[in-house]
Structure 1
Amino acid sequence: MIKAQSVRKVFGSVTVLDSVDLTVAPGEVVSILGSSGSGKSTLIRCINGLERLDGGSITVDDFDVSKPKELAEARKRSGTVFQMFNLYPHMTALQNVTLAPVEVLKRPKAEAEAEGRALLASVGLGDRADAFPSQLSGGQRQRVGICRALAMKPRYLLLDEVTSALDPEMTADVLDILAKLAKEGTTMVFVTHEIEFARTISSRVVFLEKGRLVVDLPTEQFFAADGGLANPRIAQFLSKMRKD
């Protein structure tokens, strides 16, 4: 289970996260919505230990991400897919996927490569395993990023605006893969601006506003007239996102 309690993060004079509480149980798909600057991506970066907390605590399966010795264990349990792919440009797709299982989990190279090729094939990249990132489209690079996260066999998948740099066709391909993972029971925390996709795959929706968690509701209730839409700010946000 992922538990964030009274999480606070400050950059200079700006409070980016302010007393945020969030719990994600295994099997849940939690979408995090909010306008730009609301703290969505920062929360993901705090969960995987890329940002140091200024208050509160975050644990992943009871491992405290603020403690270096426990952070390594927490990261073994949560894979992250970033907005801008973050692949190693000098490594092939397969090498990007297998690096962490070999170096961190100490998996035999041949075993990791066999599983890596199977993962790439599962997202339609079986014939691109030996291609370098510069030889791949944006959508293909993002699929490699998803495979890289899954190669660690994480209990939780953290996704930070993974379609924001993609064109509509590439976006559809990546969302199809994530929908399949959700259907298979993969636990996901999904920062997104894809409102209808969030409605389709999420078990819960969280809404952040100026660093504060305003709403945490089951998906149907969040989008229903007697739930999330009863909140004028959320109604305004959803209306604007649908127009965009």
Structure 2
Amino acid sequence: MLEIASVKKSFGNVVVLDGVDLTIKPGEVVSILGSSGSGKSTLIRCINGLEKLNGGRISVDGFDVSKPKELGEARKRSGTVFQLFNLYPHMTVLGNITIAPIEVLKRSRAEAEKEARELLASVGLSERADAYPGQLSGGQRQRVGICRALAMKPSYLLLDEVTSALDPEMTAEVLAILEKLAATGTTMVFVTHEVEFARRISDRIVFLEKGKLLVDLPTEEFFHAEGGMAQPRVAQFLSKMRKD
């Protein structure tokens, strides 16, 4: 279970997360919505230990990400797909996917490469294993990023605005892959502006506003006039997103 309890995060005098509480169970798909600057991406970075907390606690299957001795175990259980791919440009696609399983999980190169090729096949990139990131389209690079995260066999997949740097056609490619993952029962925490996609794949929708968790509801309740839409800020946000 992924547990976020009373989490606070500030950068200088700017409060980015202000007492966030959230629990995500295995098999759930939870989408996090909110305007720019609401704290969505910072929350993801706190979950995977890239940002230190100013208060509260985050645990991944019982391992506290704030404790250096437990962070490694927590990271083994959560894979992150970033907004801007973050692939190593000097390594091939295969190298990018296999480096962590080999170095962190101590898998043999043969085993890691076999699993990497299977993952690439599942996202339609079998023929690009020996290519370098610079030779791929944005949509292809993001699919490699998803494969890299899945290669660690994480309990939780954290996705931070993974389509924001892509054009509409590439966005559709990546969302199709994520929809397949959701259908297999993969636990996902999905920060996104793709509201209709979030509605389609999510079990729950969380809405952040100025660092506070304003709404946490089952998906259909979130979009219901007497549920999430009863919150004026949520209704305003959804109206604007639909117009855009």
TM-score range, shorter chain: over 0.9
The CA distance in 2 between the partners of 1:55 and 1:87, in whole Å, is 31
| Aligned equivalent of 1:241 | 241
The CA distance in 1 between the partners of 2:27 and 2:122, in whole Å, is 21
1:11 and 2:15 aligned: no
The CA distance in 2 between the partners of 1:59 and 1:229, in whole Å, is 31
The CA distance in 2 between the partners of 1:10 and 1:233, in whole Å, is 23
The 5 Å alignment of 1:71-150 reads 71-150=71-150
1:168 and 2:164 aligned: no
1:98-135, CA deviations, whole angstroms, 9 ceiling, x for partnerless residues?
00000000001011001101101110100000000000
SS of residue matched to 2:38: coil
1:2-29, CA deviations, whole angstroms, 9 ceiling, x for partnerless residues?
0010000000110000000010000000
Query: With structure 2 as the length reference, what TM-score do the two structures score?
Result: 1.00
- The list of structure 1 runs, each at least 4 consecutive aligned residues, that deviate by more than 3 angstroms after superposition, is none
Equivalent AA in structure 1 for residue 211 of structure 2:
G
Aligned residues: 244
Equivalent AA in structure 2 for residue 27 of structure 1:
G
SS of residue matched to 2:130: coil
Q: Residue 226 of structure 1: CA displacement?
A: 1.4
1:154-200, CA deviations, whole angstroms, 9 ceiling, x for partnerless residues?
01000000000000000000000000000000000000000000000
| Aligned equivalent of 1:44 | 44
Equivalent AA in structure 2 for residue 40 of structure 1:
K
1:178-228, CA deviations, whole angstroms, 9 ceiling, x for partnerless residues?
000000000000000000000000000000000000000000000011111
The CA distance in 2 between the partners of 1:243 and 1:93, in whole Å, is 38
| Aligned equivalent of 1:214 | 214
The CA distance in 2 between the partners of 1:87 and 1:242, in whole Å, is 32
Equivalent AA in structure 2 for residue 121 of structure 1:
A
SS of residue matched to 1:110: helix
| Aligned equivalent of 2:195 | 195
Equivalent AA in structure 1 for residue 12 of structure 2:
G
Equivalent AA in structure 1 for residue 232 of structure 2:
P
Structure 2, unpaired ranges of 5+: none
Q: Residue 142 of structure 1: CA displacement?
A: 0.2
Structure 1, unpaired ranges of 5+: none
The CA distance in 2 between the partners of 1:127 and 1:198, in whole Å, is 30
The CA distance in 1 between the partners of 2:121 and 2:94, in whole Å, is 11
Percent of pairs identical after alignment? 80
Aligned-residue Cα RMSD (Å) equals 0.4
The CA distance in 2 between the partners of 1:114 and 1:20, in whole Å, is 40
The CA distance in 2 between the partners of 1:128 and 1:121, in whole Å, is 10
The CA distance in 2 between the partners of 1:4 and 1:226, in whole Å, is 27
Q: Residue 146 of structure 1: CA displacement?
A: 0.1
The CA distance in 1 between the partners of 2:113 and 2:140, in whole Å, is 18
